[in-house]
A and B are shown apart, each in its own frame.
Chain A
Amino acid sequence: ELKVEQNPLFLSMQEGKNYTIYCNYSTTSDRLYWYRQDPGKSLESLFVLLSNGAVKQEGRLMASLDTKARLSTLHITAAVHDLSATYFCAVVRVAYSGAGSYQLTFGKGTKLSVIP
């Protein structure tokens, strides 16, 4: 059974500080996704990481993937209040070869609060 673990689950940080969210997964997968969810809203795609060593950056967020360690990180640089949200990582499990039942398995999410 594929398991995805995020830590921390709750993160309170001051504006201007840096921090990293970690995502570990239990079985082989070479596609990892990061989503953002604001309260009462749906999931907004942030990053798609396709291969070992992949690194993507958008603004103050940078995501990386180490498939050998089964680890992805989401690094926040100089946090601002607008980044307050819940961040999910998700991993693809291809259930059927060729049929593409590539369901996502999500972590529990990291609730980030950036304090002015």
Chain B
Amino acid sequence: GAGVSQSPRYKVAKRGQDVALRCDPISGHVSLFWYQQALGQGPEFLTYFQNEAQLDKSGLPSDRFFAERPEGSVSTLKIQRTQQEDSAVYLCASSPFDPWDTTYEQYFGPGTRLTVT
């Protein structure tokens, strides 16, 4: 079946521009996560949704970062007034949150590589 998809795959933004990154999770997956992966580093948690509710946004680095999932499926991560330090790969992951599946496994999308110039 279809996996997690993200768009665009690559985005170049001039410093100060706003960007919007899209994530289409696996159909039926309740949980959705955003992670930020800087070059040469492991992914770092940004935020978590359960359906349309944003239950954890403790990883968002500043108030310039905003995420939404209004209908409980597609999610958008928005970054306002981009800075050079925002350059990274942004990964989206979804998970079924099935109480009978205790693996809590997350399925990752291909990521969006954001470069701020």
Contact = CB atoms under 8 A, between A and B. Distances in A.
Contacts of B35: 104
B50 A31 contact: no
B55 interface: yes
A96 B43 contact: no
Contacts of B105: 33, 45, 48
Nearest to B43: A106
A31 B103 contact: yes
B67 interface: no
A42 B91 contact: yes
B7 to A, nearest CB: 14
Nearest to A89: B42
Contacts, number: 63
Given A96-B56, A100-B31, A31 B104 contact: yes
Place the interface of chain A in its size category. Answer: 20 to 34
A95 B56 contact: yes
Interface residues of B, number: 28
Interface string B100-117: 001111111111000000
B44 interface: yes
Of A4, A90, A103, A105, most buried by chain B (CB within 10 Å of CB) is A103
A108 B37 CA distance: 10
Contacts of B104: 31, 92, 100, 102
A42 B106 contact: no
Interface in B25-53: 31, 33, 35, 40-45, 48, 50
A28 interface: no
B45 A43 contact: no
B103 A108 contact: no
